[in-house]
Amino acid sequence: MIKTSDFDYYLPEELIAQTPLKDRSASRLMVLDKTTGEISHRHFYDIIDYLNENDVLVLNNTKVIPARLHGVKEDTKAHIELLLLKDLGDDTWECLVKPQRRVKLDTIVSFGDGILKAKCVKVDEAGVSQFKLIYKGILVEILDKLGEMPLPPYIHEQLEDKNRYQTVYAKFAGSAAAPTAGLHFTNELLNKIKEKNVTICYVTLHVGLGTFRPVNEENILEHKMHSEYYIMSEETANILNEAKKNGKRIIAVGTTSTRTLEANYDNGFHAKSEETSIFIYPGYKFKAIDALITNFHLPKSTLVMLVSALAGRENILNAYNEAVKEKYRFFSFGDAMFIK
């Protein structure tokens, strides 16, 4: 049995980054050799020193929507918070609800004096329900007006500039959280990387409940991953297949890009869009990626399990303990790690 407690580590609360750094690329960078476990300390802008000509860098160009909504129940005026997680089509969304007990089937929640209404059409387990959205006009514009950026619960500061919870290359709206490893890149740094003849390509994975959900089971094999929607274009599939054929390194930026690439790979990469609920934990044999740029993840989370699968659990826990000792900043607005 692989135990959830095997992926725990001590983290002082003051190391959880509450605000982004002024300069995206000035965050610290821990470089971890997955074979030897050797660690070095750099800054993120030094990532260019670790990228070689002909490497392929894969970024997730999903865009976070202002998905957190504060409203009231039409009948009782009780306060309800909805977090839009996944667009199921036909204006129906999977949502996290707070407080869940106040919302029953057919409950209508009103936002912004009725500019937007949400009718509960299905009550699901663990705080997740489905709502039909009722509005006039364009939903994205309404959300821009009424919604808040869905910052994780461990961030207690207000975000002054909501674009700081977007990557500079965010393109396709649909995420309930940012692919945070990408937050360190600036346009200037991306241009320098291109000048080094590193190929940059994009996938889209809309981050949903799979990222938010804690692992409550002691046996990790009992944990149920929620599915998330991804898109791989023909252009990206061709670039990646060419890279594989010629023995070039494929470097994923973030665990969302990693999950997309690993879920998609089946004797090659394929242009497709589909749901994935891939769960990567130690014992998994990576087929698609060679290296990973990522942030520091929550104790006992599926993301710590994923990086442990890539670099080895002992190497990861040793690196995390070193990061705590060196006072790295953790989680979404925190520092980065390059597993090579």
3-state secondary structure of 88: strand
- 10 Å Cβ neighbour count for 284? 15
Please, where are the H alpha helices in the chain?
Answer: 139-146, 187-195, 209-212, 234-245, 255-264, 302-311, 313-325
Of residues 333, 287, 339, 2, the one with CA closest to residue 165: 333
Mean pLDDT of 119-128: 83
pLDDT of residue 210: 63
Whether the pLDDT of residue 214 is over 80: the answer is: no
Whether the pLDDT of residue 37 is over 70: the answer is: yes
Read off the tokens for 38. 């050797």
Q: Which band of pLDDT confidence, cut at 50, 70 and 90, is reported for residue 126?
A: low
CA distance 110 to 80: 9
Q: What is the pLDDT of residues 276-287, one digit of tens each?
A: 999 999 999 999
Read off the tokens for 325. 């000792």
pLDDT of residue 211: 65
Q: How many CA atoms lie within 13 A of 337 on its CB side?
A: 30
Dihedral angle, C-alpha 25, 30, 34, 38, nearest 10 °: 140
CA distance 243 to 58: 12
Whether the pLDDT of residue 87 is over 80: the answer is: yes
Whether the pLDDT of residue 257 is over 90: the answer is: yes
Share of the chain above pLDDT 90, in %: 84
pLDDT of residue 101: 83
Please, where are the H alpha helices in 22-161?
Answer: 139-146
Share of the chain above pLDDT 70, in %: 98
Whether the pLDDT of residue 123 is over 80: the answer is: yes
Whether the pLDDT of residue 11 is over 80: the answer is: yes
Whether the pLDDT of residue 304 is over 70: the answer is: yes
11-25, 55-69, 138-152: range with lowest mean pLDDT: 138-152
Residue with tokens 């709206």: 173
The average confidence (pLDDT) of the chain is: 94
pLDDT of residue 162: 85
Mean pLDDT of 135-148: 93
pLDDT of residue 100: 83
Mean pLDDT of 20-28: 96
Whether the pLDDT of residue 307 is over 70: the answer is: yes
**pTM, 2 dp:** 0.93
Whether the pLDDT of residue 227 is over 90: the answer is: no
